[in-house]
Structure 1
């Protein structure tokens, strides 16, 4: 959790920037399927909080809302060019800090251990009770 908090600090200027980054990142991850209801469900956000965040992002010209081509009641979300730059720049700041910290504070062996630990954490994140192979409980 400490590393996550530090990455957030390094990637953003303030807590409001972090909230914007969370929503922008979710839109980026969902791509063509990004709608307010998909984001609210997958990101665990209340619809009122998400609506406020989307209004703020749209006012800053970081996202674009377009009616769904098949169901005009739905709205699709995508990053604007400015939104993509904002997200990319924030990610790059966090990555630069992490790269520098790893290079300056870890030995070659510790860096290799970190890579192996990352693979293990990926496996843990993929866990769901339904995905447990027989005999591994």
Structure 2
């Protein structure tokens, strides 16, 4: 199989909605996701996709910012690869592409959050050299 990694164009951002819906531990209605991604693409956000031919089979959001403790960084968000494509080294290849993309864009570090219940992702990120620095808290207003 031959896969392609690329940044999803702003006008194609809605193609990721079905994958984001599979990822969420909590359910966000499609209409809300559409509204939120419409805003996000006009902020410091990009989304990378994995394609098998013309079919999108994986995604990863990228938030670019500068932080006092890590310099210019990218925060990896909503990483998802379709079940049928897992366990084949595709995640490792995707992250290699993401590391390079971040470096080309001047980033000094990569950060991410992962759901507490997603133990497979914890193992993956540890193997990729990520360290836990703290907890991510959320309060709905």
TM-score, length basis structure 2: 0.29
Asked which structure has the greater CA Rg, the reply is 1
Question: 1 or 2 for the larger relative contact order (CA 8 Å, sep ≥6)?
Answer: 1
> Which structure is higher in strand share?
2
> Which structure is higher in helix share?
1
TM-score, length basis structure 1: 0.30
